[in-house]
Amino acid sequence: MKKGVINTAKSPIARYRRYLQLEKSMTENTLEAYIGDVLKLDKFLEAAQKDTREAVHEDVQAFFESLTDVGVHPRSRARILSSLRSYYSFLKMDGFISGNPVENIQSPAFGRHLPDVLALEEIDSMINVIDLSTVEGQRNRAIIETMYSCGLRVSELCSLRLSDLYLDDEFVRVLGKGGKQRLVPVSSRAIAELRAYIAERASMNIAPGCEDYIFLSYRRGKPLSRITVFHIVKELVAAVGINKNVSPHTFRHSFATHLLEGGANLRAIQSMLGHESISTTEIYTHIDRTRLRQEIIEHHPRNNPMRRKK
């Protein structure tokens, strides 16, 4: 939605505002909260050059993944979802849309949630299925490998710059939440994928002011949006046939879990992920214990019915 369109009398958000005022008799504070939540989605969709009427389920799902990525509390995400449900019900009722992109979006759980984790073989299969004969192939390989090898948030990946790469020293400088910088080791495989992509990137028609950004749209020559990375991941998951809830953030979870399983110190993982509090990182100890329990149940002789019969 173009800047200022909310003030246009015929815009859906302006009509929704009047609906909340006249039909729902909302207080000014509640009304502004509802409109503010809708505008968050509207701003997110700008990168895909869509407005809220054109959004589909995958767009809204990517939006909520981005809220998780930047640390928005589950209760706040639940409130935003409630606002969007109200907004899209109005749009459908008023004839702006025929479907409802938030219809099957699940409310966030308030308890401690153990996210899905990809096995290394699943990550390799996603990378290997990428067709290098396509113009985006090498770029997409570099995206997946860099997200996983460095444990990056999708927002950190999209803002990564050439000047942040210290590939000879095997480090990447990452600009995290709150503008805080950290140095993260980068694997030899990610370095190889990045160098191959950067060599191809040199022939791109890059938009002015975007020369230092690493991951660019081949069509626009501008930095990739988070929603584009979300779609890249979803397409690869479908191509491989992985039956898990996978998003760009899943690679970050997998990175941390695999480090812990390999014996890495929790404080080191905290530093690489850029967590302010060790309690945030400790979720991975719960994942590790859950897996350990499952391994014991499956493989301990006392849990084997064939052995108990002897």
Structure tokens of 206?
Answer: 């890059």
Known catalytic residue: 302?
A: no
Euclidean distance between CA atoms 278 and 274, whole angstroms? 10
Active-site choice (201, 249, 253, 258): 249
Q: State the virtual CA torsion across 281, 214, 240, 41 in degrees, nearest 10.
A: 70
Known catalytic residue: 284?
A: yes
E strands of the chain, at which residues?
Answer: 165-166, 171-175, 181-185
Active-site choice (252, 299, 300, 308): 252
Active-site choice (177, 231, 234, 291): 177
Known catalytic residue: 252?
A: yes
- Amino acid identity, position 166: Y
Give the sheet arrangement for strand 165-166, strand by strand. Answer: 165-166, 171-175, 181-185
Known catalytic residue: 57?
A: no
Active-site choice (141, 153, 253, 258): 153
Instruction: Of 235, 298, 287, give the one whose Cα is nearest residue 261.
Output: 287
Known catalytic residue: 17?
A: no
* Angstrom distances, CA of residue 159 to CA of 47, 99, 174, 224: 14, 33, 9, 9
Known catalytic residue: 249?
A: yes
Residue 109 is given by DSSP the state P
**Residues taking part in catalysis:** 153, 177, 249, 252, 275, 284
